[in-house]
Structure 1
Amino acid sequence: MSNTALIVVDMVYDFAHPNGAVYYPQNEQILPRIRKVIDECRKHDCLIVFMQHSHREGKFDKELTMVRQNCIEGTGGDELMPELGVQDSDFVIKKRRYSSFYGTDLDLVLREHNIKNVIICGTKTNCCIRATVNDAYHLNYDVIVPRECVATNDETVNDVHLTDIQKYLGRVFSMDELFKWLEGEEK
């Protein structure tokens, strides 16, 4: 197995489907590009992890006091988008906060698989992507974000956060650069 993991953040119905509770068209647009990255990472034997934003139905959750109701268990809103092609060998980890690391066993899963590099894609660049990148950096993972595979509802906000990630927290690659990097990692 490779020492690289792909972490797909929050590509769930409520965020990526036109009938979702907090849908942004940008999330639907990045789905086919994320699928290409998933397929390429599979070719290079990367660990694939899907983070699933999910809130317990009928239970208090502080995050939901600050945003519109979304990703509630049992409503279908927290279901991963079928276009992603989740396989039985993949990890699916539920989360309730912006960071994929906070309150989950993601770090343990990565360490158990000797992961050094994390490729992070999904939604929203200014919330869940940024928080996940920040925590990955502070946990000493080498972070890569494929530019075409993250989105939020404002392109300027998206670009500002990608600029900060590139400057302080990791590398921001085009998909082509990522695929070339994956080829080089195999050698």
Structure 2
Amino acid sequence: MKALLVVDMLNDFIYENGVLYTGKAGEEIVDFIREKIVSFREEKDSVIFICDNHEIDDKEFDMFPPHCLANTEGSKIIKELEVKKEDKIIKKRRYSAFFGTDLDLYLREKGIDELYVVGVCTNICILYTCADARNLGYKVNIYKDGVASFDLDAHNFALREAEKTLGCKILTCTKGVC
């Protein structure tokens, strides 16, 4: 079985007034992600929203400004991506969606062994989530048209690293076909 992981499509990353705004690159993937969500739901596959969610004194703020603080507007999923009751939401405090969460347990209980990944930031949360997924034995596919970062060079490096080192499949779509 397969699932779509929608990583950090949150107000603080996608909207211009967000604390860690990913720029136009982040905005440009929203429609693609919305289409993939609809497609996965139509096929009765799981849609899992992975959401950065920090406490005010989080150690991550030694490197990045405070963002996606728990129970704030910045930590909410963008309004363009409608969450439905059958979707799963996983809140995380570190780069990887697997670290300190029940994501692996949830996937195994559902019999999911193949992941399709979209979201931000390619070189941070996407890369480290995919690395942990591969280390746990999951087949991982990354939609190239569905990931973005505020740093194009790091984005490209992360895609190469995911493919060449981790063994992820990078999917490129043409006219809606991936």
TM range (shorter): over 0.9
State the match for 2:60 in structure 1.
63
> How far does residue 73 in structure 1 lie from its aligned partner after superposition?
1.7
Whole-angstrom CA distance in 2 between matches of 1:178 and 1:109? 29
State the match for 1:109 in structure 2: 106
Between 19-28 and 137-146, the greater mean CA deviation after superposition: 19-28
Deviations 1:133-178 (A, max 9, x none): 0000000000000001101112222112111211122100013599
Aligned residue in 2 for 1:94:
91
Task: Note the C-alpha offset of 1:120.
Answer: 1.0
Runs of 4 or more above 6 Å deviation: none
1:162 aligns with one of 155, 159, 162:
159
What's 2:142 paired with?
A: 145
TM-score normalised by L of structure 2: 0.94
TM score, norm. by length of structure 1: 0.89
Write the deviation string for residues 14-62 of structure 1: whole angstroms up to 9, x where unpaired: 00011111112211111111111111111222111001101124xx211
Superposition CA RMSD, Å: 1.5
- How many equivalent residue pairs? 176
Q: Is the 8 A contact 2:21 2:150 kept in 1?
A: no
TM-aligned CA distance change 1:168 to 1:178, over 3 Å: farther
The answer as to whether partners of 2:10 and 2:51 remain within 8 angstroms in 1 is: yes
Question: 1:122 is aligned with what amino acid?
Answer: G
* Counterpart contact for 1:119–1:144, Cα < 8 Å: yes
**Structure 1 unmatched ranges of 5 or more:** 181-187
Higher fraction of helix: 1
- What's the counterpart of residue 13 of structure 1? 11
Q: Match of 2:156, as an amino acid?
A: D
* Residue of structure 2 equivalent to 1:40: 39
Residue ranges of structure 2 left out of the alignment (5+ in a row): none
